[in-house]
Chain A
Amino acid sequence: MSIQEFVAPDSLSEAKGFLSDGAAASVLAGGTDLLVGVRLGTRNPERVVDLKKIPELTAINIDAEAVHIGAAASAFSILHDSDVPSFFPGFAEALDLIGSTQIQGRCSAGGNLCNASPAADSIPALIANGAQCLITGPGGDHQMPVEDFVVGPSKNALKEGELLVSLILPRPSSQTADAYLRLTPRTEMDIAVAGVGVSLTLDGDGTCTAARVSIGAVAPTALLVEAAGAALVGTQLDAAAIEAAVAAARQSACPISDKRGTSEYRTHVVGVLVARAIAQARRRIVEAVS
């Protein structure tokens, strides 16, 4: 490995200093992408900045408005040491699909997002839940919706010296639930052919009042399919509404063909998953209320 310097700052200001003095620096959260990249020669940092000593980067806080997940908090701690899964079972399912137990012990939701793979499992689940990115940098702090953060395969919107601090998920009401489904050739340790995140809100008589549908692995980035959500709002989630959402998702998909599936197959599958994820999110709301 070519890494010449390892630093583990314990504050955001110190970390920003290490990222903005001109050295070729990479941040390190769980390292499950970075250290593989260094090993394969695709990443070549001189300095590695370990973020896990910075309290804001690993904290998971739930307040009246939102759930705040430090960008470097491991999937294992989100899944097993926090209440996040009870608020966002779909987001939890997405994290639980990433890699093995060993990988989940290290990998983070923030890292999955910054790595910006088109097939990342947690990104459609974050988009469906309306998550925001809290970013800090030389110009101060700002927020950005997750759907705007990934700008291309392996490319994110962070500017020179900027750092993803946390993910902010608005707290769901008791009438809101999410779901994430993906298709892989194997049941474990595989990469999505297609993935779908859905969040629904229903009112007392079962009418959908809000819906967000996000699709992954079928375009250069995970997409928010606004037309799919719009097709569901105001309906009772009847067959025609679900079919319209499915059609909108397939319309937005522009997948590649590769060893995991052809473009036609992925486009078909993403629609199937949209219908199933809607059904699962609805079931969660109905079961929570009854």
Chain B
Amino acid sequence: MNKPLNKMAVQATINGEPTAFLCSPGQVLADVLRDELELIGTKIGCNTGDCGACSVLVNDRLVCACLVLAAEVEGQAVQTIEGIAEGGVLHPVQQKLLEHAGLQCGICTPGVVVAAKALIEHNPNPTEEQARYWLAGNLCRCTGYDKIIRAVLDAAQQMRQEAAV
């Protein structure tokens, strides 16, 4: 990887905060988040879009940050794992992953949380099959997936109950 001198100035909204950063034309969003903005919750696994560890939302669309050029997000809204909990209060997906022991080493977890939250916003009442397909791009080598899926379905149920009150 060479380092071109022609840095680009990019302005985007990251986790609700107007943010400016410099990046190389070929630098991917995952690297900028981690190396320039110190948002190291986003993990890098495969760097080829297969593992989902770097899942983030760009304009509410679930994507792999390793397959987005940082320069592409000019003027757009990026949400990372750091923007999921509200203050000290965990998002229901995060809380249920803890309760169901849906994580071990934790490398896949930020991506799973971002993807599962996006699922529930897209489909508040997913079936197990729908949840498994939606999360098929988030690889986990620890849990065997069952606990993750239980946690996500449980979180969806809790969020439906909260929305009904």
A99: B residues at CB distance < 8 A: 49, 137
- A residues 80-114 near B (Cβ < 8 Å) are 80, 99-103, 105-106
B137 touches A4 (CB 8 A): no
Query: Given the complex of chains A and B, what is the CA–CA distance between A4 and B1 in angstroms?
Result: 12
B52: A residues at CB distance < 8 A: 100, 102
The answer to whether A36 and B67 touch (CB under 8 A), given A1-B26, A2-B26, A6-B8, is yes
- Distance between B3 CB and nearest chain A CB, rounded to angstroms: 10
B6 touches A105 (CB 8 A): no
Query: Given the complex of chains A and B, what is the CA–CA distance between A17 and B48 in angstroms?
Result: 30
Query: Given the complex of chains A and B, what is the CA–CA distance between A48 and B69 in angstroms?
Result: 10
- B residues 106-135 near A (Cβ < 8 Å) are 115, 118-119, 122, 133-135
* Interface residue stretch chosen among A27-35, A177-185, A246-254: A27-35
The listed residue (A2, A28, A39, A105) touching B48 by CB distance below 8 A is A39
Report which residue of A1, A4, A76 has the largest number of chain B beta carbons within 10 angstroms of its beta carbon.
A1
B74: A residues at CB distance < 8 A: 8
Q: Interface residue tally of chain B, by bracket? A: 35 or more
The listed residue (B1, B6, B48, B135) touching A36 by CB distance below 8 A is B48
B61 interface residue, CB < 8 Å from A? yes
A62 interface residue, CB < 8 Å from B? no
B25 interface residue, CB < 8 Å from A? yes
B138: A residues at CB distance < 8 A: 100
- Distance between A96 CB and nearest chain B CB, rounded to angstroms: 9
B152: A residues at CB distance < 8 A: none
B25 touches A5 (CB 8 A): yes
A76: B residues at CB distance < 8 A: 61
User: How many A-B contacts are there with CB distance less than 8 Å?
Assistant: 102
B37 interface residue, CB < 8 Å from A? no
B87 interface residue, CB < 8 Å from A? no
A23: B residues at CB distance < 8 A: none
Q: Interface residue tally of chain A, by bracket? A: 20 to 34
Query: Given the complex of chains A and B, what is the CA–CA distance between A99 and B69 in angstroms?
Result: 19
B8 touches A32 (CB 8 A): no
- A residues 4-43 near B (Cβ < 8 Å) are 4-6, 8, 28, 30-32, 35-36, 38-40
B159: A residues at CB distance < 8 A: none
A106 touches B6 (CB 8 A): no
Query: Given the complex of chains A and B, what is the CA–CA distance between A99 and B62 in angstroms?
Result: 13
The answer to whether A106 and B68 touch (CB under 8 A), given A1-B1, A35-B28, A48-B26, is yes
Query: Given the complex of chains A and B, what is the CA–CA distance between A35 and B49 in angstroms?
Result: 9
Query: Given the complex of chains A and B, what is the CA–CA distance between A218 and B47 in angstroms?
Result: 30
Query: Given the complex of chains A and B, what is the CA–CA distance between A30 and B63 in angstroms?
Result: 10
B2: A residues at CB distance < 8 A: 2
The listed residue (A4, A8, A102) touching B72 by CB distance below 8 A is A8
The answer to whether A100 and B67 touch (CB under 8 A), given A5-B25, A74-B61, is no
Query: Given the complex of chains A and B, what is the CA–CA distance between A197 and B49 in angstroms?
Result: 27
Report which residue of A3, A76, A102, A188 has the largest number of chain B beta carbons within 10 angstroms of its beta carbon.
A102
The answer to whether A101 and B137 touch (CB under 8 A), given A1-B27, A5-B6, is yes
B61 touches A31 (CB 8 A): no
B1: A residues at CB distance < 8 A: 1
Residues of A within 8 A of B (CB): 1-6, 8, 28, 30-32, 35-36, 38-40, 48, 50, 52, 74, 76, 80, 99-103, 105-106, 188-189
Sampled A-B contacts (8; CB under 8 Å): A1-B26, A2-B26, A48-B26, A50-B72, A100-B52, A101-B118, A106-B64, A106-B68
Starting from the known contacts A1-B1, A1-B28, A105-B62, 19 additional A-B residue pairs (CB-CB under 8 Å) come to A2-B2, A2-B26, A3-B4, A3-B69, A4-B6, A6-B69, A31-B68, A35-B67, A36-B48, A39-B48, A40-B48, A48-B69, A50-B71, A76-B61, A100-B49, A101-B62, A102-B55, A102-B63, A189-B137
